[in-house]
Structure 1
Amino acid sequence: MSINVSNAVSWARDIAPSHYMLEIESFSSLTKMLTENGTQFFKSKIFEASGYKWTFSLYPNGDGDGKGHISVSLCIEDTDALPLSWEIYTDLKFLIFDHKRDKYSIFQGGVVNRFHRLKPECGIAKLVPRDVFDDATNGYLVTNKCVFGVEVLVLDSKFTRECLSPAVKVDKTFTWKVLEYSKLNSQARYSDKFTAGSLIWKLRLDPLGDSKSYGENLAVYLMLDPQNICSRMLVYFMLRIRNQKSGKHKEMQLCRCFAPGPLGWGSSVFMSLTELRDSSKGFLVNDCIIIEALINNVATVTS
């Protein structure tokens, strides 16, 4: 059976293989026996790893396009109990013991291996060139002895799924006039509710800043009202404090995911209180500030 052709990447570690190890006391004897019997590979007994049954195959003279290399593969066994459309994704590690350095060299094909009914076997055709493997100075084959191993990590496919719908253009602006600003204390203030993109929103103002910037900055946030049925929304929006004397408004554009609840998106340092209170700047006029929220686009995120 053919196996994947891949240039394996490798590194070394002290720990032995977790799932299967093959100790060969005479590699030349194994190679001769396979050749004389017209067999390309040695196949292991069935072993269990990550909840499934497997066999390991070693091709001393290579398999397919891996001619002139050591080839290895892993085959899933006893699949009759699995659904007809079964698929198993794995992270495979093949190992060779380095006698010279007393470490295990680890080889991976650099891809996630997908096992299924039509492809029950995966591996690396060009694990190590035979001339490199046969050279005792490299530590893989010493006094005709070598050790191979394999580890199988099955990747859990029980992932969390979200679906992002196409964005809907809204272009809705809500204006909130906050009167008698100088009389406000540190308590958060909320605007009236407003509708944009079939959703209910409100603004939050911390007149003297929140806990991160208390006494130094004005904090402004856009919030999705808990009345909304949707779980999450991706929103492109702008928050603005209008300059009532010129067009040089204080603005912030954001693209964030909202969920109904007490949290919103904005900034705890939207504007310094020093700048706000400076009458020459034009943001605080007749003890009134004007806050606006422009909701540009909205996309639904469903699970």
Structure 2
Amino acid sequence: MGNCCVAGASSDMATFKWSIDNFSSLLDKGEGWTNSRVFKIMGHAWHLKLNPMDRNSCDEECVSLRLQLSKTSVEPNTIVDASFRLIIYDQLYGKDSEHHVSHTFQTASTSSGKSCMIKLAALKNSSGFLVNNNCVFGVKFIKVVTTKAKTTSEKLFVKNASTLPEAKAAYTWCIADFFGMENPGYSPEFTAGGYKWSIRLDKEENHISLYLKKMINDLPEDSAVLVEFTLSIKNQEGGKHLKKKGLTQFSNNDPTWGWEKVVSMEDIQDSSNGYLIKTKCCIEAEVTTVGSSKMK
């Protein structure tokens, strides 16, 4: 039913043409994808996929074409960036219909998105695209670049719970003048889990944010420390504290972790919450080192 040819495979641009005779018989089979034979161009194996009775975004019947990177050319950790034109040829007047496509082919994405080349009704009524029940499709490659994907891996070690201290190291930062403090404000340094830390408090117009910061860049290169921590705004009247809990990795490149918009300024100043006694506010940090990691 179809004839194939490859042209200019050794030049900067290479073209594959797919001529389909007795095209009406393909239409009789209804909606569905038909594959061309596999062809090799620019160091890779490909095939075209044709759906003669697809639907476009307006739910109109159309002839769709897409390019597929064949299984033999799919390699782990390899990326194939291709720029090409999908074509339906005007066999009488040379006014071909072309769709320019750029696609990154890889293991998870071996097929380009479909291109609706022409409405089916327009194809049937055309004088150049369908000649003597023959239709010719093709792909013209403009550029193909193959690269190895950069893969970085991490090995994380988590300590057994039985080896962790029963009591978490805790530090309480009492701010005597909450409204008069610098913004952002930093607590004095304290030691917990074998490292030095500071609590950071940011006062925004309508809320506050809280962060834990590792103070010294003393970790080996490409290493991190896994930390379980809690930041609490203390209820100074013995009620429920406002707590935020986290489990994350601190490194020399990312020494600060925490939360934005922990509590509104309205709630901070609400006396029923006990967070602010006159101008005094107390924030507690509980910090436990529970593991470490190394990048490879």
TM-score (norm 1): 0.53
Decide whether aligned partners of structure 1 residues 75 and 295 sit closer, same or farther in structure 2, where only a CA change above 3 A counts: farther
Aligned position for 2:171: 175
Counterpart of 1:205 in structure 2 is 201
Deviations 1:179-223 (A, max 9, x none): 533584335232323232x443221235xx1xxx14x54442201
Q: Secondary structure at the match of 1:226?
A: coil
**Quick check: 156-165 or 102-111, which moved more?**
102-111
Task: Report the Cα offset of residue 301 of structure 1.
Answer: 5.7
Find the partner of 1:225 among 211, 215, 222.
215
Equivalent of residue 103 in structure 1, options 91, 94, 97:
97
Matched, 1:246 2:238: yes
Name stretches of at least 5 consecutive residues in structure 1 with no aligned partner. Answer: 1-27, 32-39, 50-54, 62-67, 78-84, 115-121, 125-131
Q: 1:70 aligned to 2:66?
A: no
Separation in 1 of the partners of 2:111 and 2:265? 64
> In 1, are the aligned partners of 2:81 and 2:104 still within 8 Å (CA)?
no
Find the counterpart in structure 2 of residue 156 from structure 1. 147
* Whole-Å separation in 2 of the counterparts to 1:263 and 1:91: 36
Counterpart residue type for residue 97 of structure 2: K
Q: TM-score, normalised by structure 2?
A: 0.54
Q: Describe how 1:30-41 pairs up with structure 2 within 5 A.
A: 31=3
Give the C-alpha shift of residue 302 in structure 1.
Answer: 2.6
CA distance 1:60–1:248, change in 2 (3 Å): same
* In 2, Cα distance between equivalents of 1:236 and 1:290: 20
Indicate which of 1, 5, 10 corresponds to 1:46: 10
Separation in 1, partners of 2:252, 2:157: 20
Q: Specify whether residues 265 and 59 from structure 1 end up closer, same or farther in structure 2 by C-alpha distance, changes over 3 A only.
A: same
Distance 1:104 1:253 in 2: 56
The alpha-carbon distance between structure 1 residues 102 and 247, as it changes in their structure 2 partners (threshold 3 A), is farther
Structure 1 residues 275 and 44, CA gap change in structure 2 (3 angstroms):
closer
Partner of 1:185: 181
Q: Tell me which of the two structures has the higher relative contact order, counting C-alpha pairs closer than 8 angstroms and 6 or more residues apart.
A: 1
Closer, same or farther: CA 258–86 of 1 in aligned 2, 3 Å: closer
CA drift of 1:90 comes to 1.4
Which of 290, 296, 300 is 2:282 aligned to? 290
Residue by residue over 1:131-161, the C-alpha shift from the partner in whole angstroms, topping out at 9 and shown as x without a partner, is x9xx865875547684632344435335362
CA distance in 1, matches of 2:76, 2:99: 32
**Which residue identity is paired with 1:180?**
A
Number of residues of Structure 1 aligned to a counterpart in Structure 2? 231
Per the TM alignment, residue 255 of structure 1 is displaced from its structure 2 partner at its CA by 5.0
Does residue 1:264 correspond to 2:228, yes or no? no
Sort the Cα spacing of 1:88 and 1:289 in 2 relative to 1 into closer, same or farther, 3 A: closer
Distance in 2, Cα, partners of 1:205 & 1:178: 12
1:300 aligns with 2:274: no
1:236/1:298 contact within 8 Å kept: no
